[in-house]
Each structure stands twice: as structure tokens, then as C-alpha cells.
Amino acid sequence: MNIAVSHPSEARRRAASLLDGYMPGEKLIVDPSVAFHRDYEKNLDPVTYEVLRSKFWNLNWDHQEALRRASGSLVVVYGFDFNTSIQTEEGEGVVFGPGNLFFAGCADLCVKWTLEHRSGGSGINPGDVFIQNDPWVGTNHQMDTAVFAPVFVDGKLFAWVYNVVHQRELGGLEPGGFVQQAQDVYSEATFMPPIKIVDRGELREDVLDMWVRRSRLPDLMTLETKAQLAGVQFAKRRLEEMIERYGAGVVKGAMRGVIDNAARTVGRRLEKLPDATWGDLRYVAGSSPGDKNLYKLGLTFEKRGDRLLVTNEGTDRSVGSFNITRGVLRAVIANVFIPLLAYDQFLCGAGVLRQIDFLVEGGDRITSARHPAAVSTSIGMCTAGAQAHYLAAKMLSADPELGAHVFAASCLHTLVVNQVFGRDENGVPYANFPFDSVVGAIGAFTFRDGIDHGGGILSMMNPVGSCEGYEREIPFLYLYRKEMPASGGHGQFRGGCSFVSGFTGHRTDHAFISSGGLFQTVTQGLGLVGGFPATAGLMRHATGTDVPALLAGGRLPGGSEELEQLVPDLAPPPTKKFDNRLAEGDVFESWAQPGAGYGDPLLRDPQLVASDASSGRLLDGDALRIYGVVLNDAGSVDADATAQAREKAYEQRLSQAGKPRRPGLPRPSGKVIGKVLATVNVCESAEGPVLACSHCGTGLGTGETGYRAGCAELDMPLPSISPYFGDPSTQVTDALVFRRFLCPSCGSALDGVICRPADEPFNDITVTHEGTRS
């Protein structure tokens, strides 16, 4: 018997990709048996182009809706934890759906890896469909299952259609797959690189059986997988109809045009910014149950001309359960810049990625983990996304056009995982994921308050789902789902407020809910340019309460305060515990994360503060304490008293703050030639660029040394911001503070970080002499 063996060089490349994580080179290495369709119409008329561009969007939207109707999964129907795409013959994403956008940086990796490592042997043929969930190829974690199919025209590979769905149960140590205690992948759900599940039009039952065999809910996973297969078949048929109607060259010309136009638009917008480097170094906590250490995440954006270079320098080695592969780091960067730089480009992922280069550190880092690091929890993806969003928002905030699309940290900035599982009253096993803890608020914009319980940057659609829908699928009851109007981060513009949900078990004694995710006292929801951070929220739990008797008597706790009175022992559950009991009589409460603030709170319009106070969006005393606004007995602004209070507040800041670590510079005499932050100007100088306070013009540092060391530093304990912030010392060994960087002359808050009290300021922005422009 003869057995065909892969070419040694291909086998080595494939093995390396599955160890270090796949990142395609400039040119794909594809078996010559694959013939590509590359001819396209180069002079497409504008009307036809726009018609086809709209048709791509509508086809992809219909693919999404077909998948939602067939799936039956609450994660898909309510949570939009999936996406769909049309891609070129080499995998470039022409258009994506409005679901989870980080898949825009994963889809092309799946196709490119398949082209490089599955084009030999049985090859890639008409009628084939592939399935994969390998994070080192291109997906967030093992539950995110990609199904994708080639589209051929006249025997040549023309395009691909793709979908990816969070499948609810694929095995692993903890039901649902978010394995909080994992130290490596061997306790997580099994994953597979791309494999044919349909071969030349025939479903491979052996592969489907293998796929669902590991699940605690095999029938459900069979349904979800077949729904994905139905989706790609639907999209493939519709794309073939377009090709038949308009011609292959015309359709391919429109696909190329969508990507080219998106890339040019992104490049033009990058060129508006000064050539500079923006960086962030932050702490995260919650790698594993009982781990009280802080870990560093580093991220840098170096902008030159119309291109951006991304590095993760300064990131600690992989640890515990909150790691991601380097492909997922690439994906979250694409996710962030699609809405911030390509907001009018029909979610064209390839156009964004074409303008970005990646220099990712090796050596097994948290954001570039090597196999077999644990990657199942989604914590790393959300944390890297929060960091990338923060850094991109800072970079773009100073430009009038681009700044209008900037907003501060939003929901999922500090991921909480409330996976539920168990057996219902009939003994039937279940595993599900209510989205209450992950659909919070949008952070403040540069010109308006954030959007209350409006979602975030990771997805363009964040419906939380109905209480009744979840109660039908999960054996629990909602006690309440209630807005927390004063939860948004403070600032010149306030972050959106979030909500809190309370649950109790129903008709089962075998039900559990996890308290997973990051440690909530170490929030990742940083504010922008002087805005306050957003809390990461809180979880609380109690067992054996009198709630069933109250319900039987027609009484229902209407919110957190009433639940506290009825259940005195309500308390935070153990961190990262996957099996908190939620049987009948038990209660669990979870907050979704609110949005962070933008700008110095002392710059907020006093009339907005009065409105906030009257509508319950401020806690007692915060109008004066945070915003320096004096309200009379009728709730109206006392203008004279407010002016005096704000002047005093600036003085108190500077008297309480630490002195700048570096002597100040003379006020720059040269003209302002740009901004690197909305609060920091770049001024002309014979010696090179000088950074100065945009409020008063005080010199803070050179372009090379940065501005932070020239600022006064005011440290605040996080719980002093509001009672919604927990004390980090209860969960980690190091003390943490909210540090505000103040102009040493006028006292304006220019930026802020969460750090250890003894930390030196991290130089977050550098500008070269060549990087300044008028």
C-alpha cells in the first residue's frame, strides 16, 4: 500500500504554524494543482460598482440571517457571537457582517492556511467545505468554529464564503468551554486545524461524528454545525447567481475595488496624523483561580505615512488562562480599526489589514502565546481589544474628522464570564451563556456622552436578548434586570451607564453558574485624555435563600438594594469559580461593564451636570466633588459659586499632586503644528518638536522624552472614585491607583492610567523631528 506524504518543507511550515501561530507571508505557497481565477474588469463603471458593492453587503447579510434562523442557539440569535464573510480567491475579506468583528482578522487566516496546507493531497475542489476551530490557525478560542467553502468558476478558484459561530459545548474540563482553571490546552476543548467536512458535495459523516462526539450536547452541536453548512451553501449559491448575471470579471473587479478603495481610505486617514509612536503598558489580573499576581500587557502603534506598525513589546510571558495567539492579536487590531478608520467601508476587513504591519514578539507571550498555552476563556481577546481600542482612540482623538468617531472604553473591557450549565427539571443536560454580563455600555465620545447599555467595539450588534427567551432555555428566573444610571465613567463627557441582572435557580437542584473572567477590581476600562475609568462591575452570590417563599407570596426583589435586605449574606463569589450553585433558592447577581469617560470632568457643561443630578446619573455629592458644580436647593446651577469651586478644584489638584519628575520646559515660542492627543499639542522648535498642554501652552517635554514626566501626578485610590469600584488589594498583592497626569501650570487633567504607586510614568507618545508636519 502506498501512502502519500506531504513534502517535507510544507510539513515543517505547517508544524511551525501550529506551534507558534499562523501568520501568512507576503506570497502564499500553494500547491500548483490549484488554479486561481484572477482576471477582473479594471475599468468598472461607478454605477455597476456601487450596485455590486451593495449586493455583496446584502448577500452577506442574508447569509447571516439564514444562519440565525437555522441555528436555534441563543448565542447566535441574541448574542450575535458569529460572523459571515465573502472573500477573494486568496482569502482577503471583501465584506463582513455586523456581528463579532474580530473574526475579520481570523477569516483570511483560515483560508490562507487552508490554501498553503490543504491544497496538496486530496486538494481543494468544487463542492468542498472545510471546518476548523484551531486558535493557532485563526480563531479566538476552541468554541469559535469556522465553516468555509471555495467558489469555483470554470474550474478555477474564484472566491470563498465563510461563517464562524460560537458553538456552545465542545468539551473540556468545564462545561461550555471557558476553562478558568486551565494551565494549558489539554484541559480545554479539543481543536482541529482545517479539515474537509464536505468532500465534493458529500457530507463526511465520519468527520461530523468526530466533531460532535466530544460534546456534552452532541445533538445540539450537530444542529449548529449543519446550520453553518446550510449558511455557506446559501451564500455560495447566491454568489454564483451574481457571477452568472454580471460576469466573473465584473464581479471580481468589484471585489478588488471594494478592498482597494477601503485601503486607500484608511491610508489617507492615517496620513492625517503626525508620524509618531503611541504606546500603552498596563496591568491585568486573574490568570487562574488563586493567582494574585499582576501581569503586564504592552502594545505599540508606530505610524509612518499611510501605514501603521503594531508590536506587543513589553508583554509578559503566557500564563494561566488569559492568553491569545498572535493571529488573535492581529484580529483585535483589525476589529478596532474597522469602526474607527473604515467606518464607511462596509466592514471591509482586507482594506484595513492591507495598511497594517505586525511585528509580534516571539517567546510565548500573553498576546502571542505558543502551543500549548491555555486560550479558551476569551479573556485575552477582550483585554487585548480593550488595550488596542484605548490606544487607537488616543491616537485618533486629536484629529477633528477622525476624532468624531472615537469613543472611550466600552463593554467587555474587563470580561466577566457567567457560563451556566447543569440539568433541568427533566434531567436533561444544558450549557448556555446569557449575555447579561457582556452587553454593557459604550464609552464617552469626544463630543457627547456614551450610549447607555449600548454595546461596545467588538461587535456592531449587541442585543442582550429577552429575559423570557433565556428563561425558556435555562432553568432560572430573572429577579430583575435594571439600569444603573450612575455607573458611567466621569468626564467632560460621561460614559454610558450599564445594568445589573439578578437570577435565581428554578425547578432544579443541579444548576451552576461561573464567576469567571478577569479580576474585577483591576479594571481595563481606562478613560480618555483626562476622563475617569469605568468600573469592571461586581458579581454577588448566595445559596439557600428565602427567595422561593417570597416568590410564592407574590413578592419580588426589585433591585440590588432590596436583594441585599432580603439576603444579608449576599457576597462576591470566589473568583474564577466555574460551578457556583444556582439551584432553586440560590441567587446570583452580575453587572455588565459601563463605559469610561472622556476629558477632564471640570470641563463638563454645568447644565449637563445639573441634568445628570436630577436624573439620578450622579451619586450624592458627585456634582461638586467630581465636577466642581454647585447646585442650589432647586437643583439649578449656581454659576458664580461653580466658577469659584472649579478654580479652587484646580488649585487643590496641584497642591495635592506630586511634582513633575522632570523640570519643565519654557513655553514653546514656535507655532502649534499638530496634536498627538486632544490635550497635548506639538509645537515647532529649532531643536525638534516640543509637546505642550493644549489648554495653556505650558511646555511638558520634547518629542523624544514625551509629556508625562513633565506633568504633576495625582494618585487616587480606585474605591474613592465611587462605591462601584472594588479595592484591588482584596484580589491582588500589589496596590493600584488611578494616576492623573496634570498640567503643572493650569492643573488640567491631560491623561490617566491605573498603575502601582511606585511606578515611573510610562512614556506613551514619542514624536520625531521628521514626524511633525504643518
How high is the pLDDT of residue 324?
A: 98
Residue with the three cell numbers 505615512: 305
Residue closest to 374 by CA, chosen among 321, 441, 424, 430? 321
As separate numbers, helices (DSSP H) first and strands (DSSP E) second, the chain gives: 18, 29
Please give the Cα distance from 314 to 309 (Å, whole number): 15
Q: d(Cα 98, Cα 462) in Å, to the nearest integer?
A: 9
CA–CA dist 88, 349 (Å, integer):
12
Closest CA to 434 of 451, 412, 417, 456: 417
The 10s digit of each residue's pLDDT in 256-270 is 999 999 999 999 999
Q: Which residues contact 710 (CB under 8 A, 6 or more apart)?
A: 660, 662, 664, 665, 691, 699, 700, 701, 744
Q: Any long-range contacts for 655-659 (C-beta under 8 Å, 24+ apart)?
A: 656/714, 657/712, 657/713, 657/714, 657/740, 657/742, 658/712, 658/713, 658/714, 658/715, 659/712, 659/744
Question: What is the per-residue DSSP string for 464-505?
Answer: ---HHHHHHHSSEEEEEEEEETT-SPPSSBPPPPEEEEEEEE
Query: How many angstroms separate the CA atoms of 279 and 276, rounded?
Result: 10
Confidence band, pLDDT 50/70/90 cuts, at residue 772: low
Q: How many CB atoms lie within 10 A of CB 113?
A: 27
The pLDDT value recorded for residue 140 is: 97
Quick one: pLDDT at residue 246? 98
Nearest C-alpha neighbor of 703 from the set 655, 756, 651, 770: 770
C-alpha cell at 440: 454593557
Contact between 518 and 438 under an 8 Å Cβ cutoff? The reply is no
Rounded to whole angstroms, the Cα distance separating 22 from 596 reads 34
Give the span between the Cα atoms of 601 and 629, in whole angstroms: 10
Give tens-digit pLDDT for 680-691. Answer: 999 998 889 999
pLDDT tens digits along 69-124: 999 888 998 889 999 999 999 999 999 999 999 999 999 999 999 999 999 999 99
As given in the structure block, the three cell numbers for residue 774 are 504643518
Report the share of the chain in percent with pLDDT over 90. 92
Q: What CA–CA distance (Å, rounded) separates 63 from 4?
A: 37
Q: Using an 8 Å Cβ cutoff, are 524 and 387 in contact? A: yes
| pLDDT tens for each residue of 217-229 | 999 999 999 999 9
Neighbours of 589 (CB within 10 A): 26
Edge to edge, the sheet with strand 737-742 lists 712-717, 737-742, 749-755
Query: In whole angstroms, what is the distance from residue 142 CA to residue 258 CA?
Result: 31
> Where does residue 687 rank: exposed (0-12), middle (13-18), buried (19+ CB within 10 A)?
exposed
Cell output for 713: 501626578
Given the DSSP bridges, would you call strands 356-359 and 307-311 parallel, antiparallel or unpaired?
A: parallel
Kind of pairing between the strands at 82-88 and 156-166? antiparallel
Q: Radius of gyration of the chain from Cα atoms?
A: 26
CA of residue 293 relative to chain centroid, distance:
23
Distance CA 738, CA 725 (A): 11
Does the structure show a pLDDT above 90 at 8? no
Summarize pLDDT for 537-584 with one digit per residue, the tens: 899 999 999 999 999 999 989 999 999 999 999 999 999 999 999 999
Backbone angles phi, psi at 61, to 5 degrees: -65, -45
Q: Sign of dihedral through CA atoms 137, 140, 142, 145?
A: negative
Helix (H) or strand (E) holding 224: helix 218-246
Q: What is the pLDDT of residues 269-305, one digit of tens each?
A: 999 999 999 999 999 999 999 999 999 999 999 999 9
**Which amino acid appears at position 620 of this protein?**
D
Crossing angle for the helix pair 248-271 and 46-71, nearest 10 degrees? 90
Check the CA dihedral 424-426-429-435 and report its sign: negative
Tens of pLDDT, residue by residue over 620-678, are 999 999 999 999 999 999 999 999 999 999 999 999 999 999 987 888 888 999 999 99
Which of 508, 514, 506 shows the shortest CA–CA distance to 427? 508
338 close to 285: Cβ distance less than 8 angstroms: no
Confidence of residue 769 (pLDDT cuts 50, 70, 90): low
Angle at 687 between CA 684 and CA 690, to 5 degrees: 45
774 pLDDT band, cuts 50/70/90, is very low
pLDDT (tens digit, 9 = 90+) per residue, 677-719? 999 999 998 889 999 999 999 999 999 999 999 999 999 999 9
E strands present in 106-172: 129-132, 144-153, 156-166
The share of the chain scoring above pLDDT 70, in percent, equals 98
Q: What are phi and psi of 547, to 5 degrees?
A: -60, -40
User: Would you say the C-alpha torsion 91, 93, 97, 99 has a positive or negative sign?
Assistant: positive
Give 438 or 250, the one with higher predicted confidence: 250
> Model confidence over 25-70: pLDDT tens digits?
999 999 999 999 999 999 999 999 999 999 999 999 999 999 999 9
The whole-model pTM stands at 0.96
Closest CA to 547 of 572, 527, 522, 565: 565
Q: What is the pLDDT of residue 421?
A: 97
Spatial neighbors of 89 by CB under 8 A, at least 6 apart, are 36, 37, 38, 157, 158, 159, 160
One-letter amino acid identity for 81? Answer: D
Beta-bridge partner residues of 678 = none
Q: State yes or no: pLDDT of 447 exceeds 80.
A: yes
AA letter at 417: V
Counting beta carbons within 10 angstroms of the beta carbon of residue 664, is it exposed (0 to 12), middle (13 to 18) or buried (19 or more)?
Answer: middle
